[in-house]
Every structure is written in C-alpha cells, then in structure tokens.
Structure 1
Amino acid sequence: MTARVYFVRAAIGSGRKNMLQKIGDLFDAADLSECIGDGDLTAIKIHFGEWGNDTYISPVWVREVTEQVRAAGGRPFLTDTNTLYSGMRHNGVDHLTVAARHGFVPEVAGAPVVIADGITSQNWRTVGIGKKHFGEVKIAGDILDAGSMIVLSHVKGHGMAGFGGAIKNLAMGCAPAAGKKDQHQGLLPAIDGDICIGCAACTRACPNGALVEEEGEVHLTPSRCIGCGECMTVCPTGAIDFDWEGGVVPFMEMMTEYALGAVRGKEGRIGYINVLMNITPDCDCCPWSDSAIVPDIGILASTDPVAIDAASVDLVNAQRGIRGSRLLCGHEPGEDKFRGVAPCTDGMVQIRYGEEIGLGEAAYELIEIGE
C-alpha cells in the first residue's frame, strides 16, 4: 500500500501565503483532524531544543498546530521527555525552564508544556512489541495516557542515526532515560590513546562517571557507560569514537522498535508533520546550531511515520548541497546528503526496518499543495 504524504514548499509563490496558513492547509489536506477524538488530551510531541540551540521549530508555528488540534476537539499539550545525557533538559524542572526560554509557553505556543516522563524520568510503563531486539519497551506515561498525538519533527542530520525525523522523534522522544539507555546499548566508545591529549573534557561531560582520567590517560568503565556519545561531542582531538561497523545498525533497529512501542494503542490516532527547514548537520540536542547543509524545502504531513521520513530524505537528497557547510561530499542533487555529513551512518535503516516491523510503509505518493 502506498501512503500519502502532503507537501508545501517553503518558498512564497504568487499566492503570498505565509507558513502559518500553509500549516493549516497541510492539516486539512492530510486529514490530521481525523486523528483527534472529541475531548482528547492530545500530545504534540516536539523537541524544545537544548539551551544554546536556535534552529528548533518556531513556537509561533507550533501555535498554528495547537489551534488546529483545538479546532478538531482536542485539548493539546506540548511534550518531550528528559535526556539521557547531562544538560539543560536532563530533569523536568530544567527542561521546563529551557522550553520557556525558547518561547514554548501558552502565551506564544498556545498550549501548556508537560514533560511526559516526569521530573526525574521515572514516569513510564512498559509496552509489549515482541520484536528482534525487545520484547517490551519503556514509554513515558503521559505519552501513553494521551488520547491522540501529533508528532511534530524538525528534520536534520544526526551523527548516529543518520538523520532525525518522525521515527527518531517517536523513539528517543517518547522514551524515558531508561528507555534511551536501552536503545544505546552496544554503542560503547573506544579511546585512541595516540590522539588523546588527556584534557579530561570527556570525563567532565560523562553523565555517569564511565570515563576516568589518570596521569594523562583516559580509561573507560564499560559497565557504567550509557552510550550517550556526549564524550565524542566534546573531545577536541576526535580521540573517541564508536564501533560504527558493529554497533550502529543494531542501534537504529532498536530505535525503530521503540518507535513502534510509542504508537501502540494509538492506531489511527497519530498525525505526523515534518519540518524541512534549517536542515542542520546535528540534532537539536546539541547546545549549538550549525549552518544548514541544504536550502529550506518546506513542510510535510502524513499519517504514516515511515512514509513521511522516506519522503523527507528524498526531498533533502534532491537538493544541491550548500558549499561551505559541514556537508563533506554528496553536494549534487540526488546524492546522499546525510551520509555526506556522517559517512559511517545509513539513516535509511530506519526506513527499511520500520517497514519490516510494521511501523509504516516506505512507498509513498507525494502530493504537493499549491498556493
């Protein structure tokens, strides 16, 4: 079966419609209001951006989504889960503070913010899925308790997942810290002693004390490692890296299985919106925002998470890459842009495995909504 994915371009045409109007048009065209029951507590699953990041989805645009949900009879709330790594979103209190600083308050975004796994990431329940890596997965309690959901995703690159879209938003974004740890198992870093300068930046960044510096050498305690990769992001010499060949594909498969758990029990009650703007090389979890790797494209909507991610990747790859960005290769239209940023990853594993386990359909019909 071919899923339908609806698309509006970022460019302003002769009709001069703004993005708020286009989001409304997408909501109508994709029948997302049909996902929302009258009186539903409707989760709008979004990423609020780490403090220091500024390319997350604008809360002004989010307000249009909350108003569409309210018009459909839902009672919207904005939500995300706490991070596994240390940072400004590691607990519910700091997470709410960052959300407010970034403009995600009712006065701007049109709905309250609820951190779905609670203040200390203990609000979760298990969901049975019976798949290759997991028999059951851990999903945030307030995600499970919502009657319906709109998954609002900023599409961008990701060093381990290849790219982040709807599937990753479901998987990592609906899991508590314990569930995120499940997904990262097997991704243990290795330290190249010939490159390591013993600066201890990684030991300070490690949220679980898995790295220790002794006499200018850094050592890993595998049993304490949670696989978050934060040590890699702060290492100034690139001395820390994952086992890309053996660990990354299982990581993406485990992530996709978690996405399946996040949608269980809400069949027909979830809509997806992917924003292909500010397509940066890194996740919004980074406390910075690098320059975009391709021009702004537009926004997609669908009721199928696999199809909308497949269409997002195809639209990104169809662009001419931006010279001077972190896109190392693959600049020509049709070439793989996300592998041009992170050559060791293949984000299409999410698409292929998502279809294999019944999360959605990789085949799609792209329907452009004109002015």
Structure 2
Amino acid sequence: MEKAKVYFTKDTGSKSLVRLYEALGKELKGNVAVKLHSGERGNQNYLRPEFVKPIIDKVNGTVVECNTAYGHDMGGARFNTTTHMEVMKEHGWTENFDVDILDSEGPDLTLEIPNGKVIKENYVGKDLDKYNSLLVLSHFKGHPMGGFGGALKQLSIGCASSAGKCWIHSTGKSADMKTCWTIPVEQDEFLEAMADAAGSVHEMFKDNVVYINSLVNLSVDCDCCYVAEDPCMKDIGIMISTDPVAIDQACLDMVYSSKDPGRDHLVERIESRHGRHTVDAAASLGYGTKEYELIDIDEQ
C-alpha cells in the first residue's frame, strides 16, 4: 500500500478546516453525514458548533450522532434520543445544523465483518444508510478506555448504536447495556474489536469518506466524560486525510514528538491503555496504512 496523504495546518481557526478540505481535493457528494461528538453534558472540551460550522456548511452536511451505552449512573445524559437531543440543543447543535440521531429508531443496521479479528458484525444506527458520503470530524485527545480518541474511535464507537457500543466494549459477548459492562474483557481484544468495527464503516462508504482530526483541547479524557481533566498540552493543529489509520498515526506521532511539558501526561494515558494497538490492528486489517506523507499547507 502506498503512503497516504495527510494534510496539516497549525492554524486552529474554524476557516482552516475548509482550507484543508480544499487542499485535499476530495469532494463529498450527495447526502453528507457529518459524524462528530456532541459532547457529554458537563464536558468542557468538546469541539464547539461555531468551530465546525464553516466546513459543515461547505459540504451541506447533516450532523449525525448515536446514543451512548451508559446511563445516569455513569454520568451519562445521552443514552436515549430524548435526553441526547436535549444535550444537542444545550450545546448549540440543533440551533446551527440539521441533526440526526442515527439509532433513534430500530432496528439497527448490521454491517458484516467477515475478516474481523474479534467481532464478525457491527451494529450501527440504521439511519446511516440514508447517506451517500461521510465526513468524520474528530477531536483528537486522550480516552479513559481506549487510550486516545480520533478517527478510528469515531468510526467504531461513534457510529455504533447503543447496542453496537455494548457489542464492541464486550468484544462481541453482549449487546445489552445492563450486562455488557459486567463482562471482563482483555484490553487488546477490546481495541481490536474497535478496529474491526471502524473498518466496517469505512468500507461502507469506501471512496466517499473524509477524516478531519483536530489536535486541540488536548485532555487525557474524552468528550464523553461529564467530569474531564482540562487540556494538558497546547493546541497542535488540524489534519485531514481519506485514510483513518494514517491520520490517527500522524496525530500520535505529533503528540509523541512534542516538547510540550504536558506531553508525558497524555502519552502515559495512551500507553497505559495500549492505545496504539488500535492503529496497529486497523492497519493489519488493510483498510488503511500507518505510512503517510505529511503535507503542511501553511508552507504551500
């Protein structure tokens, strides 16, 4: 597999997302789903609507999300469509965009994973089938379970329905929210299940998917945390690619090579959860490559 192209800018202004999209030269056509993280109620680090509005307007996209697999007992307010939409409204998403909770109604859409390492099928919100193209807007940061969150996490956990999230987290043992969290799993198998699921969504859209990772608000915690640590590093920049493996690898490389004093804290979070194993597993499945060419659009 030849090197993937990953475009980068240090400019973290909202217009830079459009500049990157134009530099990439890949036009998303038809009905465009824009997968992003709406942010848990109480979270302070999620990407704001005003930041992503220029690129969403550019592609004339619909903001899509899926319900979570954790309830009030775990600090969640987005585990059903009613409360999720309340949070979407509180965070300004419904005010600025058309919003579609993909798994608001069943049954889920099942995506087969014949070559999956751990799981052989993935359950996503059925409304995903309405869209011709996918723009994945990821906030790159740490994560308490996966080590880090980027394009691969958005494709897997992000696009999975509530049942699908349970299925991935339990490594294919339960699709029920009441039981999936009680099942012991091996960390690397969970990460491989995530890579399996991510590949099924990437293959669903094939050549009609673009990934943007924003290395801003670099906390060790995910936007799903209602109580999250404040960012530990300064903003680095924004990347775009058509390869989810390459863009996550490029982000990891930038964090690991950073001289920022908060770098060690984020790297410890990634390493302690074996986070890089997700990228390795995804690359071995063949739907992306860790080999990339980084193109700085500020130097062009």
Query: What is the TM-score normalised by the length of structure 1?
Result: 0.74
Corresponding residue number in structure 2 for 1:191: none
2: CA distance, partners of 1:144 / 1:257: 19
Structure 2 counterparts to residues 220-231 of structure 1, below 5 A: 224=179, 226-227=180-181
1:168 equivalent in alignment to 2:153: yes
The separation in 1 between residues aligned to 2:120 and 2:276, in whole angstroms, is 23
Query: Which residue is 1:64 aligned to?
Result: 54
CA distance in 1: counterparts of 2:212 and 2:275, whole angstroms: 19
Contact 1:339–1:345 (CA under 8 A) maintained in structure 2: no
2:4 maps to which residue? 3
Q: What residue identity is the alignment partner of 2:211?
A: Y
1:101 and 2:90 aligned? yes
Give the drift of 1:134.
2.2
Opposite residue 4 of structure 1, the aligned amino acid is K
1:116/1:123 contact within 8 Å kept: no
Q: Which runs of 5+ in 2 are unaligned?
A: none
Give SS of 1:172's match: helix
1:145 match: 130
**CA–CA separation in structure 2 for the residues paired with 1:32 and 1:97:** 34
Of 94, 104, 108, the residue aligned with 1:124 is: 108
Could you tell me how far apart the structure 1 residues matched to 2:226 and 2:17 are? 28
Structure 2 residue 95 is matched with structure 1 residue 113: no
Larger-gyration structure (1/2): 1
Question: Could you list the runs of 5+ residues in structure 1 that have no partner in the other structure?
Answer: 12-18, 71-75, 189-206, 209-223, 229-241, 324-329, 332-336
Pair 135,286 (structure 1): closer, same or farther in 2 beyond 3 Å = same
Give the counterpart of 1:158 among 135, 143, 148.
143
Structure 1's 322 and 178: CA in aligned 2 closer, same or farther, altered over 3 A? same
Aligned mates of 1:138, 1:105 — CA distance in 2? 25
Mapped pair 1:50 → 2:40: yes
How much does 1:93 deviate?
A: 1.3
Partner secondary structure for residue 114 of structure 1: strand
Match of 1:254 in 2: 193
CA contact (8 A) 2:37 2:223 kept: yes
Structure 1 residues 316 and 100: CA distance shift in structure 2, 3 A: same
Residue 364 of structure 1 is aligned with which of 289, 292, 300? 292
Describe the superposition over 1:174-194 as per-residue Cα deviations: whole angstroms up to 9, x where unpaired: 111111111111699xxxxxx
Distance 1:186 1:293 in 2: 31
Q: CA deviation at 1:344?
A: 2.7
* 1:88 partnered with 2:77: yes
Q: Which residue of 2 is the match for residue 30 of structure 1?
A: 24
Question: What is the DSSP-based 3-state SS (H/G/I as helix, E as strand, rest coil) of the residue aligned with 2:42?
Answer: coil
- Residue 288 of structure 1, CA deviation: 2.4
* Cα displacement (A) at 1:144: 2.5
Give 2:86's aligned amino acid. T
Relative distance call for 1:369 and 1:104 in structure 2 (3 A) is same
Question: Given the superposition, is the C-alpha separation of residues 342 and 149 from structure 1 closer, same or farther in structure 2, using an over 3 Å criterion?
Answer: closer
Provide the C-alpha distance between the structure 2 equivalents of 1:99 and 1:114, rounded to a whole number of angstroms.
Answer: 10
One-letter amino acid of the structure 1 residue matched with residue 188 of structure 2: V
Verify the 8 A CA contact 2:146 2:270 in the aligned structure 1: no
| C-alpha contact (below 8 Å) 2:118/2:172 kept by paired residues | no
Tell me, in whole angstroms, the C-alpha distance in 1 between the residues paired with 2:171 and 2:15.
Answer: 45
Q: Which residues of 2 match residues 152-231 of structure 1 at below 5 A?
A: 152-185=137-170, 208=178, 224=179, 226-227=180-181
Q: Which residue of 1 aligns with 2:276?
A: 348
| Equivalence for 1:269 | 208
Amino acid of the residue matched to residue 32 of structure 1? K
Distance 1:361 1:101, change over 3 A: same
**Displacement of 1:116:** 0.6
* Matched residue SS, 1:32: coil
Alpha-carbon distance in structure 2 between the residues aligned to 1:138 and 1:248: 21
| Paired residue secondary structure (1:279) | coil
Task: Give 2:23's aligned amino acid.
Answer: A
- Secondary structure, counterpart of 2:93 in structure 1: coil
Q: What SS is found at the alignment partner of 1:82? A: coil
